[in-house]
Amino acid sequence: MTLKAKKPEAIEKRLKLFMYGPAGVGKTTAAIQFPSAVIIDMEKGAENYTQTISKSGSVILQSVNPDEVKDEIKNLLTEKHPYKTLIIDPVTSLYNAIQEKWGRIFEKHATSEKQAELQDFGMRYWGRIKSEYKAIQRMLMALDMNIIVLSHQKDVYGPGMQKIGVGADTMKGDEYFFDYVFQLENKDGKRIAKTVKERAEIGKNKFPPEFEWSYEAFKKFYGATVIEKASTPVSMATKEQVAKVKEMLEIVKVEESEINKWLTKADADSFDEMTAETIGKIIEYLEKKAKSVTTSKAA
């Protein structure tokens, strides 16, 4: 068997950061310093900064509808646009909105009045929530834009309900998706970012342990060329391609385990979450397999 592993290539990655802090610390004010941004405002916090946002060439989508948010992110992923940064403010509200959406769906189809009342829908319910939330996370990682995701802050407790610190108030492990995690604090009237996490070569960290938050600081530490680069759209699977794959799977026998491998490799839950290139290769494979089956039968 030929090894598929190869030497890594250096690439210029977009800035993907997660930031949390207490109420009133200025998370929204900090994030909107990034110009040419799309701000998904889930708590109407950006309403107080309309002049600043307009002046910086940014736009706002105010929504608490997770489907609308997902569609906006997909449009940013697949369409040509002038925006360089996507801000989600806060992701805490997005996660809660997804829970509420699936709560309504499961309540409607609850098997008993008690189940609907208690909202005790079990693992299937939580599986749906996590699946939808992770689909959004995958699109964020695929976006050729800077990503700034804001979160409320919460106290973290250890054994005996002893407070052991603070953390982000969102789905457990949310921060793992991001290359950078910052905690925002106010110190002596300044907005200070504490570097909680940074993925970097050993000894080559871009950010200091603490710094005063500003767009200029990010250009200095991360590099203006990458941060201010124009976005390039990604071609996603078309409805025709998805329909073609499903049609071919009716003709060609493919084990469920192999289909799951395709989805895992593409980091997708379904065929419509794949790129056009990836699903195109699957169609080519299925067409060759179908032709091979037809040829063998004829022989």
Q: What is the pLDDT of residue 111?
A: 64
Q: What is the pLDDT of residue 8?
A: 74
> What does the pLDDT look like over 172-183, one tens digit per residue?
788 888 999 999
Q: Average pLDDT, whole number, for the chain?
A: 90
Measure the CA–CA gap between 59 and 112, rounded to whole angstroms.
Answer: 45
Element counts in the chain: helices (H) and strands (E): 11, 10
- The pTM of the full predicted model, rounded to 2 decimals, is 0.85
296 has a pLDDT exceeding 80: no
158 has a pLDDT exceeding 90: no
Angle, CA 254 vertex, CA 251 and CA 259 arms, to 5°: 120
35 has a pLDDT exceeding 90: yes
Domain layout of the chain by residue ranges: 16-227, 239-298
Q: Are 86 and 76 in contact (CB under 8 A)?
A: yes
Stretch 250-263: mean pLDDT, rounded? 91
Q: What is the pLDDT of residue 7?
A: 79
Stretch 44-57: mean pLDDT, rounded? 92
For residue 251, list its beta bridge partners.
none
Stretch 72-94: mean pLDDT, rounded? 95
Stretch 248-263: mean pLDDT, rounded? 91
Between 15 and 109, the higher pLDDT residue: 15
CATH class of 16-227: alpha beta
For residue 88, list its beta bridge partners.
40, 149
59 has a pLDDT exceeding 70: yes
Stretch 193-206: mean pLDDT, rounded? 93
Stretch 201-220: mean pLDDT, rounded? 95
Q: Which amino acid is at 233?
A: P
Stretch 110-122: mean pLDDT, rounded? 61
205 has a pLDDT exceeding 70: yes
Tokens coding 16: 């993907």
Which candidate, 254, 196, 186, 235, places its Cα nearest to that of 80?
Answer: 235
> What does the pLDDT look like over 275-289, one tens digit per residue?
999 999 999 999 998
Angle between helix axes 122-142 and 91-108 (nearest 10 degrees) is 140
b/e map 178-206, b = 16+ CB within 10 Å: bbbbbbbbeeeeebbbbbbebeeeeeeeb
Q: How confident is the model at residue 113 (pLDDT cuts 50, 70, 90)?
A: low
253 has a pLDDT exceeding 70: yes
Stretch 143-153: mean pLDDT, rounded? 95
Lowest mean pLDDT among 94-98, 119-123, 190-194, 239-243: 119-123
Q: What is the pLDDT of residue 294?
A: 67
Lowest mean pLDDT among 31-45, 150-164, 235-249: 150-164
Between 6 and 15, the higher pLDDT residue: 15
